[in-house]
Structure 1
């Protein structure tokens, strides 16, 4: 009978005392493989009467658990012995197990450094959601529907909700809109965060990256304030003597707009592959906040003015640490990450 077999094999398992790893393997082959005893008993269980199933079901499951526990315990014992890990319980003279220290990610290092620089200038940190609606991501920033400037940013759209496009944010400028909508000037803040764009992944681009944007709105803010703020930032981050230049550009949410270049940190202006022989590398875009943006956020553009800027942390980090492939930042290669500052635990 099935019940007698279970009792017989249970006694055999309880008395099992292996003397080698080979004995453990033999036990596994006898009891636990697909053609082993446990499997065969379950097959036999299917043929017994309903009344017997009620009694033997629990007994059979306990038998299976007993066999598995016996095997796992014996296996762990011999594996420990083979690895030379057997230790006397309570022997405090044995050396401790070393704890390997991790390292901070280069993007985290540079982000912290950027934040610290601007905090000294009175900027606070503001954050917002990574999933945004059309108003905060585009329309409030002077991107009207069908405006060609929307094509400048390939967007990951998620769905439509109440006639409004919901998407992964393409820039942290949406945080600026939320801050201006919810408060009153003056504003002096930076917005670090992750953003998303539908781009082909390569050494120079990725479908997600990190930005730090800044906003300063008050009475009588001028372009001279913008230039001096960013010049100070560059000197702090890259060192004194780093040259800066501004080139006219276009962004829907600022007017006038500019792109800021710094002298190449790799070749010191002599010309290299990174700067394409020009001696200059662009690190951010900036400009005076367009009056339409202020009005969209219920701020009187005749009384207040402001400037805004935005930079990719990956680009800044590339220049600071001379990293040539942007994909390294997200590949979790410990050989790459271990080159940077060690985190103190």
Structure 2
């Protein structure tokens, strides 16, 4: 019955039909599969007719049938890929608006960066600009120009990371080195803020780290007084921590300032009751300050008979701990996402 039809089919016509077939829908793809791939497809019927051919013709006929089978298989895979691609394009062109939105996994500014930016904004409002300098410094800018004589005991206050085979080159221990560079390159009046990363050879604990961040300020002009220094720092403390923050000054010593003072604020973490951050005293030191020593001005090419000024410096980690109630400084560098996610609102 069907065999009579098969013998009349031109093999080339079947091949042309395979190559020219298109399938825009799943139904058309299924039609192609049933005609050329399925169990009772036309190519299988052609194979069945080989038994009716003379033996000398079977080899050539079989090769032609195999070529048809390979062409049908390749065409079927191509039709599947084309149909899937077309469906994806339609999906993208017409998205399902009833689907829930994808949650946006937004990051956030690191609390250290946020505090640094806030400190800069506070001092910019009263005329300070920002200056930066290298983290690898020479002895002159890091020590000598700041009134640290060779072998002076004051150098022992800061454990330093020196560069191997270059004893006069070290990782800077404070951003005061930037202030030296500013005084060497600019003429007064100078009102600058120097934020940056510093390094000291200290044991890592909840209150200390070998790598941390500082912001140091410098004001040089004619007729600058200690009262100017105090009012500047009072203003900063109130703006950073709130109008109810209590402040006190204590006499201190720094080689590059005279007189010198440290500034404490009431501990915001324990409310003055005592904790590990304030060493159970109720007060936390936030910065050191003082009037710039005339020797420092002279070392930087500024006449101390005409100009004077004040300087101050603070650790950004300490300020951040107080502002956000963080009890362990090590959290800032551990990259624990559970900790960092709490500061997404700082974007």
TM over 0.5: yes
Q: Distance in 2 between matches of 1:281 and 1:214?
A: 20
Q: Which one of 201, 210, 221 corresponds to residue 204 of structure 2? A: 201
Does the 8 Å CA contact 2:207/2:277 hold for their aligned counterparts? no
Preserved CA contact (<8 Å) 1:285 1:310 = yes
User: 1:200: Cα distance to partner?
Assistant: 1.4
Name which of 217, 224, 229 aligns with 2:227.
Answer: 224
Query: CA–CA distance in 2 between the matches of 1:271 and 1:343?
Result: 28
Task: Verify the 8 A CA contact 2:253 2:260 in the aligned structure 1.
Answer: yes
Is the alpha carbon distance of 1:117 and 1:130 closer, same or farther for their aligned partners in structure 2, counting shifts above 3 Å? same
Give the counterpart of 1:100 among 101, 105, 124: 105
Pair 1:245-2:216 in alignment? no
Q: Which residue number in structure 2 is paired with residue 281 of structure 1? A: 284
Classify the secondary structure of the residue corresponding to 2:213: strand
CA contact (8 A) 1:101 1:342 kept: no
Cα deviation, 1:67-94, whole Å, max 9, x if unaligned, reads xxxxxxxxxxxxxxxxxxxx83441215
CA contact (8 A) 2:114 2:346 kept: no
- What secondary structure, in the 3-state scheme, does the structure 1 residue paired with 2:219 have? strand
Q: Determine the C-alpha separation between the residues in 2 that align with 1:253 and 1:99.
A: 50
Alpha-carbon separation, structure 1, partners of 2:266 and 2:244: 9
What are the superposed Cα offsets for residues 85-115 of structure 1, whole Å, 9 maximum, x if unpaired? xx83441215675431001100011111100
| 2:262 paired with 1:256 | no
1:148 matches 2:161 = no
Separation in 2 of the partners of 1:180 and 1:160?
Answer: 29
| Kept after mapping to 1: 8 A contact 2:246/2:266 | yes
SS of 2:192 mapped into structure 1: strand
Q: 1 or 2, which has the higher helix percentage?
A: 2
Whole-Å separation in 2 of the counterparts to 1:274 and 1:331: 19
Q: What stretches of structure 1 of length at least 5 have no aligned partner? A: 1-86
TM-score of the pair, normalised by structure 1: 0.71
Which residue number in structure 2 is paired with residue 314 of structure 1? 317
Counterpart of 1:88 in structure 2 is 88
Q: Tell me how far apart the structure 2 counterparts of residues 106 and 233 of structure 1 sit (CA, whole Å).
A: 18
Question: Whole-Å Cα distance in 1 between the matches of residues 336 and 273 of structure 2?
Answer: 32
Match of 1:268 among 268, 271, 274: 271
1:271 deviates by 3.1
Q: CA deviation at 1:279?
A: 1.7
Q: Unpaired runs of 5+ in structure 2?
A: 1-86
Distance 1:101 1:292 in 2: 51
| RMSD (Å) for aligned C-alpha atoms | 1.7
Q: CA 1:304–1:103 in 2, change beyond 3 Å: closer, same or farther?
A: same
Deviations 1:193-248 (A, max 9, x none): 00001111111111100000000000000100000000000000000021111101
State which structure, 1 or 2, has the greater radius of gyration over its C-alpha atoms.
2
Contact conserved, 1:102 with 1:343, CA < 8 A, in 2? no
> 1:125 maps to which residue?
130
Q: TM-score, normalised by structure 2?
A: 0.71
Work out the number of aligned pairs and report it. 257
The 10-residue stretch of structure 1 (333-342 or 309-318) with the greater mean CA deviation from structure 2 = 333-342
| Structure 1 residue 280: Cα displacement | 1.0
SS of the residue corresponding to residue 272 of structure 1 reads coil
